[in-house]
Amino acid sequence: MPLVLYYMPMSPYCRSVLLLARAVDVPLDLRTVNLMAGEQLKPEFVAINPQHTIPTLVDGDLILWESRAILTYLVGLYGKDKTLYPEDLKTRAKVDALLYFDSGTLMQRWRGVVHPVIKDGAPKPPEKGLEQFHEALGWLETSLSQHKGKFAAGTDGPTVADFALVAGVSTYEAAGFFDADKYPVISAWLERCKKTMPGYQELNADAAAKFGGFIQSKIKQ
């Protein structure tokens, strides 16, 4: 039986899973959950995921609803080699650290920029939120500058950390909150991801552009 993924195409968390699934060539039974319509609150979905978040992956009796856990699980099941989640402990520690940074710092600060606009109806992002978000981007720029020309953990090819990060960074770019001139190392890394990840345009770029346009439409000039 194929794995079932509850998702919404515009969600960067869902897009990271779609990209990784394509990279390891695993078919998914995709089931859309429209957050705008409140479908995540339907009793049948809450019964699957009491936190009612997406993405949610169902593999038999296993249910996962944290995107980064889904990424590492898919690699463990279907990865053809160890490159996406290296076994070398030091390299894996770097990958894990980036996953935690993306979850606990970068995406949290991104929420501080967009949630006041798209959820609370603020006319524009708060200055403090923008300041903190760009501080986090600066940390990513510094981290990536330690191994220019490679991927996020210093590897020659992408790891699960790159799949997690690229879905977010491409969204920042599409929404107009990422200045390539200010972050040249991140920009160069993003271009490597675009050229390397199978199905990038179809699975990530188009939906990121749509989400970016939605965010821009909410900001009052």
160 touches 78 (CB < 8 A):
no
The answer, yes or no, to whether residue 156 has pLDDT greater than 80, is yes
Binned at pLDDT 50, 70 and 90, residue 220 comes out as confident
Helices in the chain by DSSP H: which ranges?
Answer: 12-23, 43-46, 67-78, 89-101, 107-118, 127-145, 160-174, 184-196, 200, 206-218
Rounded Cα–Cα distance for residues 33 and 38 (Å): 8
Tell me the average pLDDT of the chain: 96
* pLDDT score of 147: 85
143 touches 189 (CB < 8 A):
no
Residue 41 CA neighbour count, 13 Å, CB half: 4
What are the structural domains of the chain?
A: 3-78 (3.40.30.10), 89-218 (1.20.1050.10)
The answer, yes or no, to whether residue 87 has pLDDT greater than 70, is yes
Binned at pLDDT 50, 70 and 90, residue 100 comes out as very high
The catalytic site residues sit at: 11
Average pLDDT over residues 170-198: 96
* pLDDT score of 172: 97
**Residues 16-73: pLDDT tens digits?**
999 999 999 999 999 999 999 999 999 999 999 999 999 999 999 999 999 999 999 9
Binned at pLDDT 50, 70 and 90, residue 81 comes out as confident
Average pLDDT over residues 82-103: 96
55 touches 11 (CB < 8 A):
yes
Residue 13 tokens read as: 């968390």
